[in-house]
Amino acid sequence: MLPSCPRTLLELLEQRGALTPQQAAFLWEDQPVSFKELWDKASRFAAFLLGLSVAPGDRVLIRLPNGPDFFRAFYGVLRAGAIAVPVFPASGPDRIAALARLCGASMVVAAGGDGCDIAGLRTVSVADSGACTTQASFPAVAPDDVAFLQYTSGSTGSPKGVMLSHRGLLANIGQLIDGMNLTESDCFVSWLPVFHDMGLILMTMVPFYLGAKLVLLPTSLANVRPWLLAIERHRGTVTAAPDFAYRLTLRHVREAASHDLRSLRVALNAAEPVRASTIEEFESAFGLRNALIAGYGLAEATVGVSSGQPGSAPLVDARGVVSVGRSFRDVDVRIIEDGRPLAAGRIGEIAVRSPANTRGYYGDPVETARLFWGDGYIRTGDLGYLDDAGRLFVTGRLKNMIKHGGESIFPQEAEEVADRMPWVRSSAAVGIDSGGPEGEQLYLFVELSRPGRYDEPQLYERAVDIVQAVQARLGIRPGRVYLLRPHAIPVTPNGKIRHADLRERHLSGGLRADKAVLFPGY
């Protein structure tokens, strides 16, 4: 049974607590946490916050990993009328302090005894609220109130806090359910971080809304086996991860056939460029058929904008780009260039209008003004095109596009070529301008899986292999190919390649200083 038109996340959870009180909201370490328990403990924490004079609209940082306490803190903050600001729990004190300053927070919720010890920032824990009542006088929360701030990492400049309202969140929950045909009979299995939007909204708020089973796991991907085992044991039907996690799984699981993942109906591949090879190889290794679907979204549109259809074969264009499908209900996607819309087939910046669009960045009117285009569209900073049938293809990030001899090249086109080599662990393509007459050139940085295996002549051959493969696929030769040690390419906590950072590390000599470069020696 579905909740009846909740207008806020709190109404959603309250209705769940009343409709299906004993049902598990989620399983954590195989232990069920019921909707009633979740609602009661969140209310208790809210009462605790109100007792500390937290007022409506106050920002409260939440520095907690996946687990029951995160939800008690998150919904407790909301019930106190305040704005939750989830932060990466491993963030150091400097980053926490910087985020607190940016959003004007004076409190952080952390695990007991895990104080951040930052001046001006009070640390509380969920356990502190044990003695509080669930019957306090809670402030009214309206649909247009901001529920939480999603800070986007942004490879340059300071992070920006995307304001997500209850109304926008509920709109996007409905769009995700509709767009991917999700139902209450689904079983969600997720290790995605709940302190980030895809893990929090798609993989917890959606199953909460549906009353569907949710198996929640810790985020560590040092071992992908628990993820696969959970899908297998619980007959999981829905999961989601960025492309790299599926790739990682293929590398780490030698005996794919020993895992039965055939219960999966929807395995969303989103949050970073989707590679055709990943979909192909993952489905073939695990005997799946059209379960891996490519999706597209961004925090500024709450989280989801479009996805492929579960059960339909992926659509791949001549450049090797996988379509991220048609936009969700009530979402309009335009492709723009120099402020004007482009026709079908032309590549430009993707602009999105959706009832789930943010109204801007917290406390940042300048960046907020830059975000919008035309009549309520947000500029995504992503490049792509729509085909004649309205299907979206995302070709890259505006700022990562490489101009090589007048050709526009997207990093993932070259990375896909390198990553298909069996001896490659990971690769990153960036545009490098060394200041010479050749101008910006495509440089490919390639991590070897087992660097110890090669002597110098063999390294030379591997580099030649890459040049040949890139030329065969893209019609151009890279300006340079560097072979690197494993883990030399900088990535975000979510595993996304930090292209700007890599470029900087190359140009400043940092890569070489760290002895990360195996070949060539210049």
Partner 1 sequence: MLIDLEDVCRTVGLVLGRRVVHANDRLMEDLGAESIDLLNIVVALEQKHGVSIDEAATGDVSTVRDLHQLVSRSPRAAIVPADPARTA
Q: Is residue 521 a contact residue for partner 1 (CB under 8 A)? A: yes
Contact status: 468 vs partner 1 (CB under 8 A): yes
DSSP for 100-153 reads HHHHT--EEEESTT-----TT-EEE-GGGGTT--S---PPP--TTSEEEEEEE-
Among the candidate windows 248-256, 353-361, 458-466, 497-505, which touches partner 1 by CB under 8 A? 458-466
Q: Which two tokens stand for residue 403?
A: 């101009």
CA separation for the pair 147, 141 (Å, rounded):
9
Stretch that binds partner 1, among 79-87, 341-349, 353-361, 464-472 (CB under 8 A): 464-472
Taking the least distance from each CB to partner 1, the nearer of 7 and 480 is: 480
**CB-wise, 113 or 437, nearer to partner 1?**
437
| 441 touching partner 1, by CB under 8 A | yes
Smallest distance, partner 1 to C-beta of residue 455, A: 12
97 interacts with partner 1 by CB under 8 A? no
For tokens 């992503």, what's the residue?
382
**Among candidate residues 402, 425, 411, 419, the one with its CA nearest the CA of residue 489:** 425
Nearer to partner 1, 471 or 492 (CB): 471
Q: Smaller CB distance to partner 1: residue 149 or 432?
A: 432
Q: Rule CB under 8 A: is residue 485 a binding residue for partner 1?
A: no
Near partner 1 by CB under 8 A: residue from 471, 486, 492, 514: 471
CB-based contacts of 376, cutoff 8 Å, min separation 6: 353, 357
Of 327 and 441, the one with the shorter C-beta distance to partner 1 is 441
- Cβ nearer to partner 1, comparing 299 with 432: 432
Out of 134, 290, 309, 434, the only residue in the binding site for partner 1 (CB under 8 A) is 434
Sign of the dihedral through C-alpha 69, 93, 516, 412: positive
Backbone angles phi, psi at 73, to 5 degrees: -70, -50
Of 389-428, binders to partner 1 (CB under 8 A) are 405
Q: In the Cβ-directed half-sphere of 73, how many Cα atoms lie within 13 Å?
A: 30
CB 429 within 8 A of CB 402: yes
Min CB(452)–partner 1 separation in Å? 18
Do 219 and 270 touch, CB atoms closer than 8 A?
no
Q: Out of 235, 319, 480, 496, which residue is the one contacting partner 1 (CB under 8 A)?
A: 480
Query: What would the two tokens of residue 69 be?
Result: 């306490």
Q: What phi-psi label fits residue 495: left (phi over 0), alpha (psi between -120 and 50 degrees) or beta?
A: left
Residue 405 vs 486, nearer CB to partner 1: 405
Residue 460 is a binding residue for partner 1 (CB under 8 A): yes
> Quick one: 126 or 417, whose CB is closer to partner 1?
417
Return the bridge partners of 382, or none. Answer: 397
| Binds partner 1 by CB under 8 A, chosen from 464, 486, 487, 514 | 464
- Binding test (CB under 8 A) with partner 1, winner from 261, 479, 488, 505: 479
Q: Which of 122, 420, 473, 512 binds partner 1 (CB under 8 A)?
A: 512
With beta carbons less than 8 A apart as the criterion, state whether 431 and 473 touch: no
Angle CA 63–68–71, to nearest 5: 60
Q: Which of 461, 486, 492, 514 binds partner 1 (CB under 8 A)?
A: 461
- Diameter of the chain measured on Cα atoms: 74
Question: From residue 327, how far is each of 32, 75, 306 by CA, in Å?
Answer: 35, 29, 4
- Work out whether 138 is an interface residue with partner 1 (CB under 8 A): no
Determine the Cα–Cα distance for residues 44 and 9; give it in Å rounded to an integer. 17
CB closer to partner 1 out of 106 and 468 = 468
Task: Work out how close the CB of 513 gets to partner 1 at its nearest, in angstroms, rounded to a whole number.
Answer: 8
431 near partner 1, rule: CB under 8 A: no
Q: Which residues are CB-contacts of 436 (< 8 A; sequence separation ≥ 6)?
A: none
Residue carrying the six token digits 């219960």: 263
456 sits near partner 1 (criterion: CB under 8 A): yes
Q: Least CB distance from residue 484 to partner 1, whole Å?
A: 14
Contact between 437 and partner 1 per CB under 8 A: yes
Q: Which stretch binds partner 1 (CB under 8 A): 16-24, 341-349, 353-361, 468-476?
A: 468-476
Spatial separation of the C-alpha atoms in residues 245 and 240, rounded to whole Å: 9
Among 436, 450, 452, 455, binds partner 1 (CB under 8 A): 436
Segment lying near partner 1 (by CB under 8 A), choices 42-50, 119-127, 342-350, 457-465: 457-465
Binding piece for partner 1, criterion CB under 8 A, among 254-262, 283-291, 392-400, 436-444: 436-444
Residue 503, classed as helix, strand or coil, is: helix
As given in the structure block, the two tokens for residue 219 are 């985020």
Helices (H), 242-331: 243-252, 276-286
On whether the CB atoms of residues 266 and 237 are closer than 8 A, the answer is yes
Regarding 438 and contact with partner 1 (CB under 8 A), the answer is yes
Residue count, binding to partner 1 (CB under 8 A): 26
Which region, judged by CB under 8 A, interacts with partner 1, from 86-94, 152-160, 313-321, 455-463? 455-463
Distance CA(206)–CA(190), nearest Å, equals: 12
User: CB of 203 within 8 A of CB of 183?
Assistant: no
Candidates 92, 112, 486, 520; binder of partner 1 (CB under 8 A) is 520
Q: Among 242, 254, 251, which Cα is nearest to 419's?
A: 251
For partner 1, the binding residues (CB under 8 A) are 405, 434, 436-438, 441, 456, 460-461, 463-464, 467-468, 470-471, 476-477, 479-481, 509, 512, 519-522
